[in-house]
Structure 1
Amino acid sequence: MSTQQADWAWLPEDMMGAILKKLGLTDEYMRVSRVCTSWFSFVRDRTEFKELLRKQAPLLVIPAINNRRNRRNLYNVIDGKTYDVQITLPYNRRCCGSSHGWLATVGRKMVITLTNPFSQRRIRLPPIFNPPKGNITRDNPCLFYSWVHKVILSNDPDLSSEDCVVGAIYDHINRLAFIKLGDECWTYVDNNLNIFSDIIFSNGLLHAIDKRGKLISVDISIDSYVTENEVEVIMPQCMEGNPNMAYIVESRGGDILMIRRFLVKQPDHEDLYLTGKIRVFKLQRNSSMRSKWIEIKNLNGETLFLGDNHSTSLSSSSEILALKPNCIYYTDDYFHDGHPHYKEDGPLDLGVFNMDDGSFEAHYVLDPSQKQFPPAIFIMPSTLDNIP
């Protein structure tokens, strides 16, 4: 045995079962499942693992602020249950993203902190830039949204911290920056490239999109300032109309999707605007001709989750998750735009769009006590990336 590696695939099932009974977190199960193919199958079929996934995903983080701390409950949008697990964040920090099970928060000094509510680990990043002098949120707390719009991760730092890259949309003109965990400073993308609304990582590249359909990709191996000439413009601005938000998602099959979200004024309320139209497009790339966006009417059974979170597609064919197919779950992520109705109603535009029949329904209804609090945000445990 000293000159050979142990054949872990042949470990007796009763011994495997005894080991798994000692585990309590989905991340621990996933580490075990990565040892070999047979272990992955064994873990995936365990009842206790399936129950953990049902409780954890997909979760909506609901704010509930007291005097000094920002306590957030976890609400499962699939089974409609609120769990006792609470995430406690400093009251003076804003949640600016969630990705691979981690939450990103930003404070007045523009320091972004990553928090994993399941492993309780925290990672503090260098300031993304030097904020203006003085308290930038003294007169308007929503300015946090202007300075750091969204933060995502390339993967879970608890599972592969050496390869994890953090991407961000920041500044009041929505510029791009990224940093590899462990680096001391951010890498910035050319100032001429801005006004982006969403970002994802795909095939080792950072992709960014704006509301008019412009799509670019950035090589994240560059460790200095990224010039405009070093950025690939996959699609120029080409879409008509002016959506309130646009998102970019990679489907489970590897397709790049653009989702455009439009607000509609509500007839029974003077200042209330809610999501009333959603259109979905798939990127069609061709080496011999110009790429283009093709509108699609279904998601091939997948389910999307959009908002301040890392835009995500999950498989609705999974018996574990029991998601609604061809549906888009969304949260109120334009809260920072300063629409007048927020003074009275709060960030209440949370819903589900069914692409099969064009209908909308709510997945969570704000309690009156939550209407003056920050928006809710989806969080997806990193284990969901591996559910077929």
Structure 2
Amino acid sequence: MANWSELSNDILEYLSSFLPLPDYHRFGAVCQNWWSVAKQKHSRPANQLPWLVMGDDYATQKRIFFDLLENKHYCIGIPELRGQYLCGSFYGWLFTIDIQLNARLLNPFTGKQYNLPHLPAYNEYFKTHAYLIEPTETCTATFAVMQMELVWKATVDYDPSDRSDFKVVIVYGEYKRLAFWRPGDLRWNLIKGVCSYIDDVLFSDGKLYAVTSLPDNILCVVDDWSDPKLTEVNISIPKDPDIICVSYLVDLRGELLLVQRFRECNIVDERHHTTIDIQVQKIDVDEGVSVTCKHIEGYAFFLGVNLPVIIDPSKFPSCRKNAIYFTDTSYVQNAEKYGRDDLWIYDLDTCKLSRYYPPHIYIPDVAAPIWFNPNPW
């Protein structure tokens, strides 16, 4: 019988290339030889479905991750994530804000991080709000609340693991403006122009695109970083003014898509807003037109306050094709009573919603879950 511990490194690297992250770590635990292969940078885990990053487990103070592929929770002890608010996820990195309102870029599996300057909204809030460490009867505004109000979403143009000349862009503050930072900058740089009530931002084809939420969906672009200014793109984007809309930008193989998630408030049981419909528009910037899409080429989109994750369901039998998986991004009252339950799969073929997360499991209203593609390098 062959001695599995003595298999050649070439064979072990080939075998490990088919494994998702949980099995990849189990692979490395078999013996010293397999571990030495698993820890090599050239031997990365296979493509996998993204995980949901939840809050801290109250009993262990470990971070809770939900593996969609295994339909299983993992509590992982990552000290750098304890008590952190997460408002950005990209290439295996997270944008975090701690209770002292310090912002960082963090790869939770390598521990590598970038300390970021004070956020642009930091001083604005201290001028207008009396924030407290603990709430009182007359004031409920705490630093824990401020964590969630400083930044709505963060994204990058390149993977910080691969390039040192990347940019971080944030949607920040009460009026949802834009700012960016590059390694070496001592402060955040504000982006001028049409720059309020931004719903989403995305780098595509070397340009930064943004979509506003109020009063209408308006597409804007930054294409000159020597003097960054957000300018409006003259494109008509349909939107129902009577329904709350959350918008996402997606780059699907070089084509720019706008995903609109429509929500309504269920007055009967006082729950927060829940999703009722999703529409997809294909944006042709050069022609200045948008066209409604009924299909997304069979792919599955994973959307939230993360860089959009696009998955080919043919590689994952449990993943729905032509579907959109989204997280709860509610910031309204009463969410603390019911937790976060606006987590669904929207099937573009049937126009129906179904669950991907067990509805009976309560998710506290601390922060919205966020999609995360684990990258241990």
TM class by shorter chain equals 0.7 to 0.9
- Percent identity, aligned pairs only, is 22
- Structure-2 separation of matches of 1:249 and 1:323: 19
The CA deviation at 1:176 is 0.7
Classify the secondary structure of the residue corresponding to 1:344. helix
- Distance between the aligned counterparts of 2:358 and 2:42, measured in 1? 33
Contiguous gaps of at least 5 residues in structure 1: 1-12, 31-48, 384-388
Does residue 285 in structure 1 map to residue 278 in structure 2? no
Task: Report the CA distance between 1:237 and its aligned residue.
Answer: 6.3
Q: How far off is 1:376 after superposition?
A: 1.2
Match of 1:147 among 141, 145, 150: 150
Q: Which amino acid aligns with 1:248?
A: L
Residue 373 of structure 1 pairs with residue 366 of structure 2: yes
Q: 1:261 to 1:302 in 2, by over 3 A?
A: same
Q: CA deviation at 1:321?
A: 7.8
* CA shift digits 1:60-86 (9 cap, x unpaired): 11213438x963222112331223534
Measured in 1, the distance between the counterparts of 2:224 and 2:152 equals 19
1:261 and 1:275 in contact (8 A); partners too: yes
The change in CA–CA distance for 1:143 and 1:365 in structure 2 (over 3 A counts) is: farther
**1:198 corresponding residue in structure 2:** 200
- Aligned partner of 1:330 in structure 2 is 326
Correspondence for 2:56: 64
1:295 aligns to what SS in structure 2?
strand
Matched, 1:312 2:313: no
Shift in alpha-carbon separation, 1:120–1:147, aligned structure 2, 3 A: same
* In structure 2, C-alpha distance between the alignment counterparts of 1:236 and 1:18, rounded to whole Å: 52
Q: Partners of 2:171 and 2:290 in 1: how far apart? A: 23
Q: Which moved more, 1:166-175 or 1:199-208?
A: 199-208
State the match for 1:29 in structure 2. 43
Say whether residues 1:219 and 2:223 are aligned partners: yes
Aligned 8 A contact 1:65 1:373 in 2: no
| Separation (CA, whole Å) in 2 of partners of 1:120 and 1:366 | 32
Deviation at 1:272, TM superposition (A): 4.2
Letter in 2 for 1:82: H
Cα separation, 2, equivalents of 1:346 and 1:89? 25
8 Å Cα contact 2:81/2:108 also seen in 1: no
TM-score in terms of structure 1 length:
0.76
Shift of 1:315: 2.5
Describe how 1:82-231 pairs up with structure 2 within 5 A.
Answer: 82-89=73-80, 93-107=84-98, 110-129=101-120, 130-131=122-123, 132-133=125-126, 136=131, 138=133, 139-140=140-141, 141-160=144-163, 162-190=164-192, 192-211=194-213, 212-219=216-223, 221-222=225-226, 226=228, 230-231=229-230
Give the aligned CA root-mean-square deviation in angstroms.
3.0
- Residues 240-264 of structure 1 deviation map (CA, whole Å, 9 limit, x = unaligned): 314331111111x211111111113
Question: What stretches of structure 2 of length at least 5 have no aligned partner?
Answer: 1-6, 15-33, 134-139
Tell me if the contact between 2:63 and 2:81 (Cα under 8 Å) persists in the aligned partners: no
2:238 is the counterpart of 1:239: yes
Secondary structure of the structure 2 residue equivalent to 1:282: strand
1:328–1:369 distance in 2 versus 1, CA, 3 Å: closer
Amino acid at match of 2:37: L
Q: How does 1:3-14 map to 2 (within 5 A)?
A: none
Separation in 2 of the partners of 1:154 and 1:27? 22
Q: Distance in 2 between matches of 1:137 and 1:261?
A: 35
Tell me, in whole angstroms, the C-alpha distance in 1 between the residues paired with 2:282 and 2:309: 15
Amino acid at match of 1:213: N
Q: Secondary structure at the match of 1:23?
A: helix
Inter-partner Cα distance in structure 2 for 1:309 and 1:379: 7
Q: Secondary structure of the equivalent of 1:157? A: coil
* Equivalent position of 2:25 in the other structure: none
Query: What displacement does 1:146 show?
Result: 2.9
- Structure 2 counterpart of 1:23, which letter? V
Amino acid at match of 2:166: C
- The aligned counterpart of 1:40 is none
| TM-score, length basis structure 2 | 0.78
2:195 and 2:230 in contact (8 A); partners too: no
Question: 2:250 aligns to what?
Answer: 249
- Distance change in 2, residues 1:26/1:105 (3 Å): farther
Tell me by how many angstroms 1:280 deviates: 0.7
Offset, 1:204: 1.8
Partner of 2:356: 363
Per-residue CA deviations over 1:106-147 (Å, capped at 9, x if unaligned) read 246653211112222121111122423376465234443332
How far apart, in 2, do the equivalents of 1:292 and 1:142 lie? 40
The one-letter amino acid paired with 2:304 is G
Aligned residue for 2:233, secondary structure, equals strand
Number of matched pairs? 334
1:33 corresponds to? none
Aligned counterpart, 2:11: 17
Contact 2:62-2:76 at 8 Å conserved across structures? no
Where 1:197 maps in the other structure, the secondary structure is strand
CA distance in structure 2 between the partners assigned to 1:365 and 1:137 by the alignment: 35
